Amino acid sequence: MKTTSYAKLLRFPRTERDLSQITVAKQLGLSRASYLALEHGSRELSLSEAVKVTTLYGIRIDDLIVNHKPDFEKYKMMVLALLRAAKEESVTLKKTKLSLLLYLADMRNYYETKESMSGMTYRKQSYGPVSETFHRLIDEMERDGTLAITQVLRDDYHMYEIKESRGSTRMKLMHLATKEQQRLHELCQAWGATPTAELQQFIMAGRPMSETTEGSDIAYTLICSEEPHLVS
């Protein structure tokens, strides 16, 4: 079985995990030149090699097929859309809840359109789904003045409140379609004021999380068999 479509997506999980081409090539039993040909799309990926890829990254073959190139700029716009919706609802989002809402947004979008809104990969951890790029992108947005992050102490636990900075409030959400902005606003209306622990429990009980091994990437396709009222 040959799948050129797989080959075009090999680079993204590798770079997300900060793995070198040589490291991945050795794991697949290939020379660096052969692996480079896969990433460039000039060589097709065999089924046996695809299986090795899914084992290496802890993902499923069907997830490798449907995975998309992460759109980092769109992900940042999703952050701003959620923060603006939270402000309208008189809610201040903390970093953990923001991360969970982004996950729900991507899963709901995939459920309705068969496409992730951001294209991000989420990994199952004991405390919930995590995008490996979330913290890096949030830090970038704080450094460039888009976000204001405040550390607060509640019950001896440090939390981080996130707000949009005054200077970025006029920024247009150019990467988001009107319907996508509506979905994000609806999510914030539904979950913005809910305790984070309750939101975590809701997500952990869903099929994408319950049917994924801890430490593995979550297959978007799992949301398709979820009951509608459990999607978001």
- Model confidence pLDDT, tens digit, residues 112-129: 988 899 989 899 999 899
**Shared-domain flag, residues 217 and 112:** yes
Q: Are residues 34 and 11 in the same domain?
A: yes
Q: What is the domain range of residue 38?
A: 4-66
End-of-domain residue from the set 23, 48, 66: 66
Q: Looking at the 3D structure of the chain, how many domains does it have? A: 2
The CATH number of the domain where 45 resides is what?
A: 1.10.260.40
> 64 is written with which tokens?
């490798």
Backbone angles phi, psi at 159, to 5 degrees: -125, 160
Counts for the chain of helices (H) and strands (E), in that order: 12, 5
**pTM (2 decimals)?**
0.73
Q: Are residues 90 and 49 in the same domain?
A: no
Residue 66: band (very low, low, confident or very high) from pLDDT cuts 50, 70, 90: low
pLDDT value of position 3: 41
